[in-house]
Chain A
């Protein structure tokens, strides 16, 4: 199954891209996705526990993925 990972702002700069299609094993969680990202070039510049949203709602590391989700890694926000 695949999920779409979205990266923004400083995190997009760190990995040099703003969207990544990832193949993930059934039963994967947000934590697994973060592990995969941290192993990519530039992934060591992500904090160990960034905010994540799944399908546009804030999620936790243990949130399970079923394929097809939009997983966004959210840098510290700065609106206003």
Chain B
């Protein structure tokens, strides 16, 4: 069970867990990303997620394949939700299962770290004061870019990927 998906409705974590695991699995791990009520001191009311859908699903599938090769995990599901989410809503779920805990934990961590760096998904943060802003992930290799109008991006080797995986190129030359 290797599966990745972008979804437009709520993520059913229990369903994912029952899909990913069976009686051979002594371990199942879950990572959930949720909408937080504050970011950098600003009160957040929600997040609007959008994506380059075809490429995002392709990158998510590549990450799942890499996790399988790297950790020997054959049971992994990655789902990311798009659209407008409220506080506490689950935006991303990674579930992994394996006979033993270490590969399940490692694959889950690998998948979320890579997703945050490489997968073309964006978030528009909506603030309680009515303003909104595009925000970038730390570790996307672009966090110093400051969004539109930024002057430069970092050198490729200044952001080694957490697991030595495939970083995105840091801007074209």
Q: Which residues of A contact B (CB under 8 A)?
A: 6, 8-11, 13-14, 30-31, 34, 44-53, 56-63, 72, 74-80
Q: What residues of chain B lie closer than 8 Å to A47, measured between beta carbons?
A: 145, 148-153, 171
Among A30, A48, A78, chain B packs the most CB atoms within 10 A around the CB of A78
> Which stretch from B14-22, B68-76, B98-106, B121-129 is at the chain A interface?
B121-129
Question: A80–B116 Cα gap in the complex (Å)?
Answer: 6
Q: Is the CB of B173 within 8 A of A76?
A: no
Q: Give me the 10 closest cross-chain CB pairs, A-B, nearest first.
A: A79-B121, A76-B136, A76-B142, A49-B171, A9-B122, A61-B172, A56-B55, A80-B116, A10-B134, A45-B148
Q: What residues of chain B lie closer than 8 Å to A74, measured between beta carbons?
A: 52, 120
Name the contact of B169 in the complex, choosing from A34, A44, A51 (C-beta under 8 A): A51
How many A-B contacts are there with CB distance less than 8 Å?
A: 128
With both chains docked as a complex, state the minimum distance between the C-beta of B65 and any C-beta of chain A, in angstroms.
15
Q: What residues of chain B lie closer than 8 Å to A56, measured between beta carbons?
A: 52, 54-55, 58
Residue of B nearest to A45 (CB): B148
Question: A61–B171 Cα gap in the complex (Å)?
Answer: 8
Residue of A nearest to B60 (CB): A79
Question: A44–B123 Cα gap in the complex (Å)?
Answer: 22
Q: What residues of chain A lie closer than 8 Å to B172, measured between beta carbons?
A: 30-31, 34, 49-52, 59-61, 63
Among A50, A52, A60, A63, chain B packs the most CB atoms within 10 A around the CB of A50
Name the contact of A49 in the complex, choosing from B118, B136, B148, B153 (C-beta under 8 A): B153
Residue of B nearest to A75 (CB): B122
Question: A52–B148 Cα gap in the complex (Å)?
Answer: 14
Q: What residues of chain B lie closer than 8 Å to A76, measured between beta carbons?
A: 136-137, 140-143, 145, 147
Residue of A nearest to B33 (CB): A80
Name the contact of A80 in the complex, choosing from B52, B112, B120, B134 (C-beta under 8 A): B112
Q: What residues of chain B lie closer than 8 Å to A34, measured between beta carbons?
A: 172
Question: A57–B136 Cα gap in the complex (Å)?
Answer: 20
Question: A73–B36 Cα gap in the complex (Å)?
Answer: 28
Q: Is the CB of B119 within 8 A of A79?
A: yes
